[in-house]
Amino acid sequence: MSLEPGTYLIKATTGHPLDILATAEGVNATVKLLPRIPSGQTWQVTSVRPGKAIIESYDPNSSYKLSLSYSTDDFNGSPITTQDNHPPLIWNIRNAEAPNEFILSPDIRLVGVDICATVKDDQMVIQPFPLEDPNRPTWEFIRIRVD
């Protein structure tokens, strides 16, 4: 199963017992993981090619989009949202065991280092994580209909 383009809530499935969603407010905001609220932040997934996507915050009342991005200077930190005048970061989307669950990795070339999005201190963070590890962190993408 691949992640189709569309609008989603992004739920952490690893590293936290609560039902928490990826949320970022404003430009250069870190991605916090907050308990589900009725109007949780939604994200648009735009497919670039199979297994790769751009993830942008979706707000129909806003005149701009914020891309889920990451500083390439360090591979041990939190993703941030950047405004659309920056080139958006491409994310690698890999299937996990459960339906609608995926492994997220920024499409950044680091020789000999596998990195992916996980949870630490109620934030989405990027950390080294071996590809072959069966306990690799996953994220559930919950499809939202937008009329």
Statement: 6-144 belongs to CATH 3.40.50.720: no
At residue 73, does pLDDT exceed 70? no
pLDDT tens for residues 90-143? 999 988 888 889 999 888 876 667 888 988 888 898 888 877 787 788 999 999
pTM (2 d.p.): 0.86
Ranges of each domain in the chain:
6-144
pLDDT one-digit tens code per residue, 4-42: 999 999 998 876 666 788 888 888 888 888 887 666 688
Place of tokens 């630490």: 120
Strand segments (E) across the chain: 6-12, 20-23, 32-35, 42-49, 52-58, 66-69, 80-83, 91-95, 101-106, 115-120, 123-128, 139-144
Mean pLDDT, residues 54-60: 83
CA of residue 75 relative to chain centroid, distance: 15
Using alpha carbons, select from 46, 80, 44, 83 the residue that is nearest to residue 63. Answer: 83
> What does DSSP say about strands 66-69 and 80-83: parallel, antiparallel, or unpaired?
antiparallel
CA distance 5 to 8: 9
In our burial notation (b when 16+ CB lie closer than 10 A, e otherwise), range 46-55 reads eeeeeeebbb
